[in-house]
Amino acid sequence: MASFAREEHQFLAELGLAPRNPGSFACGAWGGSGPVVATTNPTNNEVIAEVVEASVDDYEKGMSACFDAARTWMAVPAPKRGEIVRQIGDALRAKLHHLGRLLSLEMGKILPEGIGEVQEIIDMCDYAVGLSRQLNGSIIPSERPNHMMMEVWNPLGVVGVITAFNFPCAVLGWNACIALVCGNCVVWKGAPTTPLITIAMTKIVASVFEKNNLPSAIFTAFCGGAEIGQAIALDTRIPLVSFTGSTKVGQMVQQQVSARFGKCLLELSGNNAIIVMDDADIPLAVRSVLFAAVGTAGQRCTTCRRLLLHESIYQTFLDQLVEVYKQVRIGDPMEKGTLLGPLHTTASKESFLKGIQTIRSQGGKILLGGSSIESEGNFVQPTIVEISPDAPVVREELFGPVLYAMKFQTLKEAIEINNSVPQGLSSSIFTRKPDAIFKWIG
């Protein structure tokens, strides 16, 4: 791979990555008998490295060891489990900048976002350490004299974590840190297009288990696609599966897991709105919308996709917004000053372009952007669209930097528009009126 030759990519080696990497960490050892895939840099679509994915056989062997390790891990006292997680946090902290760069290289998000995401999993570790001394059960006085009830929390055994390309570190952190201090083993499947991150993270975590003479199978990880995800969803040894990804796949996973009376944590699509009232601090709101709509190239589940503007400030706001959009620096996400990197894959770019066509066909008016950018990478223009809230495309999640601007007259109307899409997740309001704030919350 050319990538490994470059001086600026030296951090790959320091993260333990090679031109060709086994992608199955099972029974505490690296292997992989699945297909060999190439992972590419979204900035120029060059191959970074090759990865040998896990096969279903690898999965079976790994899960078996993980299931066995569960007995060991759940017998470790909770505060000692917290100490392991603290060491994981420290091991990640030591590689913060290397991991941040890897995120930027393989996923395509800008470097400060990459570093910020790794910091998030570190923070989760610190938080989980505290929790490791708070896993209290209850002693409940009974109605019957001289009786009492005891409620004790026992580990589930093994928790499955399936994560998506857009937050390949942080989402693992939310799930794995809590799962581990609670005494559960973790089986992780990262996204098929970010295998190097999966491998680099797993190496760091595994080193801590090794140093403490604990079975590395406590944390088992697989690079792979739908087959492995499927196996996790159907595996009766995994009572809890956390899934992050598309609504469509999430629904399928949930049906499979609940059919076997397992439980699911789902983190699916969003279609978030920002409402700007007539009394809002406009410059503050403009900056916030820019960050919310263009950050991570619009590939967050919390990306702002709909901008609801009070009619009295509608035009002023859009004028200012267009102005700041024009100044957005597009380019290599690892370069200082870049605000907008490429979409994650060429497929993402195509999907963006197809979305723009649909928008136009449904009466959307492109105020800015709307095209891809000539380059070897997956760059597209940050895009603002004027469109009716009734256009069907508004109800879908177009995973890219496309913002729908709409006009409203009253807060009530704005809240109705906000709630008119099937996906809820996060929305926000800019106003100075406490009344409006509390109406919004309530």
**Binding of a second copy by 79 (CB under 8 A):** yes
28 φ, ψ (degrees, to nearest 5)? 75, 15
- Residue number, 2 or 94, with CB nearest to a second copy: 94
- The torsion angle over the Cα atoms of residues 198, 201, 202 and 205, rounded to 10 degrees, is -160
Give min distance, CB of 72 to a second copy, in A: 11
Answer yes or no whether residue 95 interacts with a second copy by CB under 8 A. Answer: no
Which of these segments, 195-203, 220-228, 387-395, 432-440, binds a second copy (CB under 8 A)? 432-440
Tell me the window of 251-259, 290-298, 377-385, 398-406 that interacts with a second copy (CB under 8 A).
251-259
Q: Contact, 290 vs 324, CB < 8 A?
A: yes
Considering only 129, 200, 204, 414, the residue that binds a second copy (CB under 8 A) is: 129
Helix (H) or strand (E) holding 283: helix 282-294
Determine the longest span between alpha carbons in the chain, in angstroms: 79
282 binds a second copy (CB under 8 A): no
Applying CB under 8 A, which part among 23-31, 50-58, 222-230, 256-264 lies near a second copy?
256-264
Stretch that binds a second copy, among 26-34, 131-139, 208-216, 336-344 (CB under 8 A): 131-139
Distances, alpha carbon 402 to alpha carbons 168, 300, 352, in Å: 22, 12, 9
Phi-psi group of 245: left, alpha or beta (phi > 0 → left; psi -120 to 50 → alpha; rest → beta): left
Contact 175, 265 (CB under 8 A): yes
Select from 1, 47, 96, 131 the one that contacts a second copy (CB under 8 A): 131
267 is catalytic: yes
Shorter beta-carbon distance to a second copy: residue 5 or 152: 152
| Binding footprint of a second copy, residue count (CB under 8 A) | 50
Active-site residue, from 53, 106, 113, 267:
267
- The answer to the question of residue 75 lying near a second copy (CB under 8 A) is yes
Under the binding rule (CB under 8 A), the answer on residue 259 touching a second copy is yes
Neighbours of 298 (CB within 10 A): 24
256 touches 233 (CB < 8 A): yes
**DSSP codes joined into one string, 322-341:** HHHHHTPPBS-TTSTT--B-
Pick the closest to residue 263 from 272, 254, 271 (CA basis). 254
Q: Which is nearer to a second copy, 180 or 406 (CB)?
A: 180
Beta strands at 365-368 and 383-386: parallel, antiparallel or unpaired: antiparallel
Nearer to a second copy, 336 or 438 (CB): 438
412 lies in the binding site for a second copy (CB under 8 A): no
Our CB check for a second copy shows the closer of 134 and 327 to be 134
Quick check: 150 binds a second copy (CB under 8 A)?
yes
What one-character-per-residue DSSP string does 166-219 give? TSTTHHHHHHHHHHHHTT-EEEEE--TT-HHHHHHHHHHHHHHHHHTT--GGGE
Residue 33: count other Cβ atoms within 10 Å of its Cβ: 14
H or E element, residue 222: strand 219-222
Gap between the Cα atoms of 255 and 240, Å rounded: 13
Binder among 7, 142, 336, 412 for a second copy (CB under 8 A) = 142
Q: Closer CB to a second copy, residue 196 or residue 289?
A: 289
Beta carbon of residue 74, minimum distance to a second copy (angstroms, whole number)? 9
From candidates 40, 254, 271, 303, binder to a second copy by CB under 8 A:
254
Residues that bind a second copy (CB under 8 A): 75-80, 82-83, 86, 90, 123, 126-131, 133-148, 150-152, 154, 251, 254-255, 258-259, 261, 432-434, 437-438, 441-442
- Catalytic positions are 267
